[in-house]
Structure 1
């Protein structure tokens, strides 16, 4: 792709000169700037007036060069953060008014400029940062920017809007300015984290960062490109095509000697071009140390490729006199112990002092493999990849580390005090959601207040895009067949739109379906057999096949597209679409291989998922290779049944996220749903819903605390971990071995049953707890009342006879704070929540219920100060030393109803206890069977052998202001305190 320069007509030449002068500074008086530039461009003097500018704007047509030049500059000023010339927030009417004030233009001109370029609505990145020393000034950039302007121009050529390009500029600049100045005499390592969305264009951001970093003087760029060759190769090609360019790739040789000699886009000259070697055009060259298919290899005699030339040998490399006349080195390296080991060894061999080289390390998918998952012990070895990254950071004191991920939890749980680890100590930047991006929230109905019977394809994302997969006995033939039918239908729809809407021939270059059930190769083998059989038996040219497609079109495609097509063509009926079905099927099975298996097993891999080399209309079957970082182009139908136990892994499997221009309404997600209520397996759709809520909660927290107060950040990166939420308790933010520094802070549970199991076993602790609770039993009624909860759908009734009483919120909080547990802090996360809702007056009263057994010979125990007898419960520590559930399901449903967590019980007695801010506590005096013989006939027992168990349900309305459910914090080992707990001798 060539980079164009402005047309040299007099008016364009004048405004080009004016904007070139203003682009790196604040807005200045426009007329004065035009008159000043006209002195050097004599033929432009006739155009150096505001009146001529207005006339040109009025006469401008779409795509006018003058308009585009001004649109670009206005957007840049709209986006810039904290300018000296405006106190207004970016992208606001006030910011634009300040721009016009600095330009000193008339009201007529401002109206014209507002018409051609309205104030952009795109969001800026959210930045959590330590204080840093500003070094990015107009002067520091002057004459240095070479690769960034060309990359920005390329993005515009690709069709990116001015606002989108400005967004990349601002986001990349927010990273660069927080790195160390590469020319500073003292070495400083900045470490940061950039949080994007899954498949949202993070590569574009870090490509912009690399371009700006090289222009600033960083001369060794190491990109850690995932753990798989597939992802490394994809990243290498992207950087080569959009940043490195043809001339640097050829290195003076023939284009047919390039590693891209057989790449269609190389032959079509779609790689960026500069016209000559950059070093011949006042720029600097990029030396590639890795190629498209070759990872880093030991350089042996070619070690000089890593040597940095010095124009002035007597001064350090980082001196500006050397730095800006030296070529940059770029490598895209797989996160592999052997590969990184070769790099470390070669760096130790070069003559250039490593302490002089400004280095930028970009870690793509930084939460995978990079994080140290060894337990934090003084003598513990680091995990292999983390060890090599730590060695690089130790070897290269001027190395800056920037991690990129969509799932940041593993990174923020790193020990902040580990100086050679990758904790983002300097900054965390959350990228805004890009325009046109289809993410997790587009498949859920978070903001909808509509009841189930009010939901439609128009107002419900779930109804429009999500299809349940509920299988019995693991036979998923019917839902899988339906998903494949949908894939064929959407293929036909794309061909229909390409024809009717006059879209470019390659607008739908790729059309894919992804089936993800397992990471196991054997599962892929069996799945390939099933899908192949389904495809060839589908009969898409037969009347039976068309009947299936017609029914699916009428019930699914047609009604959804009717309200969500965004103006793209829709067939009037299936007969209108039918002529495109045959060509669609031919596109998919053109080589008799409609299915591509991507899993590294050469025995069953059926094709190459290389979206750069050829159009791909295929069904993809894969696991790990397709669930992390790799972009599946044209993905329209996803069939997903693979479970995960942590949010990071699950979110990364969401390959259906991305940009879907022209077919957003056709996207379908077939996802496994829980088969039986009460089953412990995670409902996949609900799990994704919880993950999405976690993600949005984390981003809201970052945005809230990114606002400076009195010029000082409210929080630093080290204080970020407590902001991480968990909406589904079974689904941890990241894998357990990445959370050893994480501590659970709070568990919120409005309307939900919560029951601790870690009761102490030491007699002294049991006596202490009994003394706390004993007076509470005196408050219970002397007579039992029958309570019930009717469950019509199960034709069941839960019943309990219980003594009742009440407890003030402060009294309950005092008791649980004073209780002793099997391990210290066992109940602290719940106490945090109870304290919060007590302070906020979100609970007025706790209703006490002590279930009583009335059948047969009742076993009692004496409690309280009056010698009353209460039903005792015999329970075993089934998960020794933990109890299993002490309560029963019939007790829990009544407690939840009283607290508002369940709908009407159908029982007057139960309903009489329901109140808006009332919680419920169920009390259980427990005697373990091993001590049952120690209970006297009259119910007396040593309090050291009695467990006072309880469960509680907080009011359903006590949700908290931010809807957070679970919070974690990181333990900084430098602040660790060792507490010696005295041993009880009783």
Structure 2
């Protein structure tokens, strides 16, 4: 019943029992116990843990099925030899967790970190796992973290190997999604396995570094390692030791019961503390000296390694601090080559990336920026050092030059973590399957504009802050655990300029003082806001008052908590570290932070704003990664998810003077969210091995980076290297070109290319219906259709004009390849959707065609459209192309053939209908013939990779590609 896999349960129970013969009654008793178990039963909890662990395990030796699938669970039941009743009972209380796990793009590597080895040396991981379960983490979350952390550690070098190697990797999470939990798990597993020096690069500010130090101290390093030899019952012995003023010490800090070395494990020595970064002291030098029980063997020999203490330091990404560390390490001498080290770089796309212009490097000499140079120096000093970067915005990292061996390109692996359960992220604020102009459910629930007819809505945002505070107090008194309500914050982010922060803070204070929240006028405003907003979107499973009158008594308490300590506003900025040392902002040591935070850069990177409920956001930037990092409203909101509101600028000025333009911040966030989701989708698509080998390696990742809005670059220009995507093979995948031309001549040209097909459309409408098996929904599509050959379609696609042809070119290259492989494709079904609603009846004749349905859409204030296909139409197109299972609809199935693709064609007008559709006719120069393609799912040559790349590598004179392809 270990991680070696499930065994025949009845036989195992007999082997462990004292009976001389198998006792069917014992197994029957177990059967009855499980069937009658209450939710909190200890035995049931143990089985839940084991089944979940087996479900999640990636490619174990004992299994031939995929993780997180019903097939894996059935295999487990079979190996356990459970009867049908027990299987049904376990399925009811431990359902299979089918959500995707981590996605890994990796070089081939030599396996060394097996599950058996991990189980044999697991002191710190087991302690961390117990702590997480004690904090209420569900089994699926713990098992998911276990698998993700294991995937990182197994791709590091074997710490006991005679041959040194330094792996380079990158772990991609979501903004404020628990990346720290992952690298804490990685650290625990790595030191258990033998890594003895861990350097965590914890942000660029002391406050961020201190947050990371405290988290590691609390959840991994533990009380006994923090205290050392100090007697916890002797107050004099505790003077100067961390956390004596911390509200959570010692109750919430992990404890092992004794010094780990007294328990047969090894101690951890901290080289930094909560308030002290790495210092150049003799103490620091001696602490880095590793003693070897057997001096005839190197430190990395198991005889020495597993008896040695581990050293952990959390270091700020600061040039002088890192210089001190490098200087001290140089004094240690030759043993540096024997130390298995792990460098974890939190927010690795900030400060760590070399941003000097390669064109300015002279005589082949690489010039490095300060932090990048110091990290490179560390890696050179420690030949056994493994570097693992963590970020939510990976574009800068994957654009690092792969040919620069001393830089930080993740050459060995890139792991994309799944979106955590209960995480509030992109999909909660943006309806990614909707259309421009349509307000979806996510936007209705959580997103509000900055302006209304009376001006900006800052007063309303302040009222929402008070109202949600009152609702939290109400819920805490009506059975909801108050832990998540310890802190309650509002973030106001308009500018990076400190002078503007001061003026804005003063304006907020004045508004606050005049708000009269506990007077008749204030209560009237709050009642109106409650009725038209918060009551309408309240979570029905959480206690919420039926009327404002029931909530009114809690408003004064919320206002009192916000006013405590004087001003309700904290300005978060500064030119020095001292400016950030604000006790009112210390979420760890302050019992309740109920404040309005006004600031800029510091609030947009790394810093976790606890209890964030209301955001008022107006700041613009032209870098996608910077913009995404400003999304502090992403995160976990237990007990108050339904109360979260984002007030965001819909039309803001970007730039100054003649180059200024108006942008939509909400739209910009949506665009970069699409870029990031597409990046993750592409990683998922190319992660499966082909014939046991990777389809792509990390060096081929940059071309997977998309860019939906031209003015929002994936990363800063000085972080991007050139990469070119040559071909994307997309069998059974939706291809949606968005960069259609915007001039009358080009639109006319494209319309006339499609025009002959409009006459070929069958005269009768067909109504397609697809019942989707995964979500149970039915999708209906009314359309005219026509079948055309692949050669006919390519004759159109090859001659289309574009505003920007580059995004479609790699897909077009794949479609060209199908001309050379006629056995993979027969034809295409052209589908021209028609209106079914009596409300949407916009039709017109295009250059003399029969009247056809027209769509009225606007481009996203730039030259590209957003979504092309209607979400309700995609199922039909995917089924006809063989990408979805059979349906019972005869109309749909009549069109399905094995090698048929599908095209959804939408004539789109952008101007007002009355100026475009005249006497029922449409000017061909005023219609954009936009379309979605789904190549046949069968159009996949197994001998070829699904993607081909060219990427610039400074070590090569010519572009590199993936392994050769054949036609």
Length-normalised TM-score, structure 1: 0.76
CA distance in 2, matches of 1:121, 1:273: 34
The reply to whether residue 374 of structure 1 matches residue 356 of structure 2 is: yes
Is contact 1:60–1:67 with CA below 8 Å preserved after alignment? yes
Runs of 4+ in 1 over 6 A off after TM superposition: 42-48, 603-606, 676-679, 744-748, 808-817, 833-844, 896-899, 959-962
The reply to whether residue 386 of structure 1 matches residue 372 of structure 2 is: yes
Matching of residues 461-610 of structure 1 within 5 Å? 461-470=442-451, 478-500=456-478, 502-561=479-538, 565-600=539-574, 607-610=583-586
The reply to whether residue 120 of structure 1 matches residue 102 of structure 2 is: no
CA distance in 1, matches of 2:606, 2:743: 40
CA distance in 2, matches of 1:969, 1:900: 37
Alignment partner of 2:109 out of 132, 138, 142: 132
The reply to whether residue 359 of structure 1 matches residue 341 of structure 2 is: yes
Shift of the alpha carbon at 1:182? 0.6
Matching of residues 536-935 of structure 1 within 5 Å? 536-561=513-538, 565-600=539-574, 607-614=583-590, 615-674=592-651, 680-742=661-723, 750=738, 752-753=740-741, 900=909, 904=913, 906-907=915-916, 912=921
For structure 1, list consecutive stretches of 5 or more residues without a partner in the other structure: 1-21, 757-774, 780-807, 820-824, 845-884, 887-895, 923-952, 979-986
Shift of the alpha carbon at 1:36? 2.6
The reply to whether residue 208 of structure 1 matches residue 185 of structure 2 is: yes
CA distance in 1, matches of 2:512, 2:243: 36
Q: 1:624-672: per-residue Cα shift (whole Å, max 9, x none)?
A: 1111111111100001010010110000000000011111111000111
Q: Name the SS for the 1:955 alignment partner.
A: strand
For structure 2, list consecutive stretches of 5 or more residues without a partner in the other structure: 233-237, 728-734, 754-791, 819-826, 831-861, 864-904, 937-947, 960-967
Q: Name the SS for the 1:131 alignment partner.
A: coil
Matching of residues 222-261 of structure 1 within 5 Å? 222-255=199-232, 256-257=238-239, 259-261=241-243
Is contact 1:725–1:968 with CA below 8 Å preserved after alignment? no
Equivalent in the alignment of 1:84: 61
Q: Describe the shift of the 1:483–1:259 C-alpha distance in structure 2 as closer, same or farther (beyond 3 A).
A: farther
Q: Name the SS for the 2:485 alignment partner.
A: coil
Q: Describe the shift of the 1:742–1:649 C-alpha distance in structure 2 as closer, same or farther (beyond 3 A).
A: farther
Which is worse superposed, 698-707 or 112-121? 112-121
Shift of the alpha carbon at 1:469? 1.0
Q: Name the SS for the 1:347 alignment partner.
A: helix
Q: 1:837-858: per-residue Cα shift (whole Å, max 9, x none)?
A: 88899999xxxxxxxxxxxxxx
Q: Describe the shift of the 1:676–1:826 C-alpha distance in structure 2 as closer, same or farther (beyond 3 A).
A: closer
Q: Describe the shift of the 1:744–1:905 C-alpha distance in structure 2 as closer, same or farther (beyond 3 A).
A: farther
What is the alpha-carbon root mean square deviation over aligned residues? 3.8
Equivalent in the alignment of 1:51: 28
Shift of the alpha carbon at 1:724? 0.7
Equivalent in the alignment of 1:60: 37
Is contact 2:489–2:614 with CA below 8 Å preserved after alignment? yes
Q: Describe the shift of the 1:968–1:460 C-alpha distance in structure 2 as closer, same or farther (beyond 3 A).
A: farther
Q: Describe the shift of the 1:607–1:287 C-alpha distance in structure 2 as closer, same or farther (beyond 3 A).
A: closer
CA distance in 2, matches of 1:132, 1:668: 46
Is contact 1:751–1:900 with CA below 8 Å preserved after alignment? no
CA distance in 2, matches of 1:52, 1:379: 74
Shift of the alpha carbon at 1:468? 0.6
Count of paired positions = 808
Q: Name the SS for the 1:973 alignment partner.
A: coil
Is contact 1:842–1:958 with CA below 8 Å preserved after alignment? no
CA distance in 1, matches of 2:511, 2:475: 27
CA distance in 1, matches of 2:531, 2:176: 31
Structure label with greater radius of gyration: 1
Is contact 2:450–2:647 with CA below 8 Å preserved after alignment? yes
Q: Name the SS for the 2:931 alignment partner.
A: coil
Is contact 2:492–2:616 with CA below 8 Å preserved after alignment? yes
Length-normalised TM-score, structure 2: 0.77
CA distance in 2, matches of 1:72, 1:300: 47
Q: Describe the shift of the 1:908–1:550 C-alpha distance in structure 2 as closer, same or farther (beyond 3 A).
A: closer
CA distance in 2, matches of 1:815, 1:448: 30
Shift of the alpha carbon at 1:436? 0.3
Q: Describe the shift of the 1:592–1:835 C-alpha distance in structure 2 as closer, same or farther (beyond 3 A).
A: same
CA distance in 2, matches of 1:555, 1:87: 54
The reply to whether residue 316 of structure 1 matches residue 315 of structure 2 is: no
Is contact 1:721–1:968 with CA below 8 Å preserved after alignment? no
CA distance in 1, matches of 2:917, 2:284: 86
Q: 1:659-716: per-residue Cα shift (whole Å, max 9, x none)?
A: 1111111100011111699982321000001011111111110111111122111111
CA distance in 1, matches of 2:741, 2:551: 52
Shift of the alpha carbon at 1:606? 6.5
Alignment partner of 2:315 out of 317, 328, 333: 333
CA distance in 1, matches of 2:458, 2:383: 54
The reply to whether residue 410 of structure 1 matches residue 386 of structure 2 is: no
CA distance in 2, matches of 1:576, 1:681: 43
CA distance in 1, matches of 2:919, 2:280: 75
CA distance in 1, matches of 2:649, 2:543: 31
Q: Name the SS for the 2:626 alignment partner.
A: helix
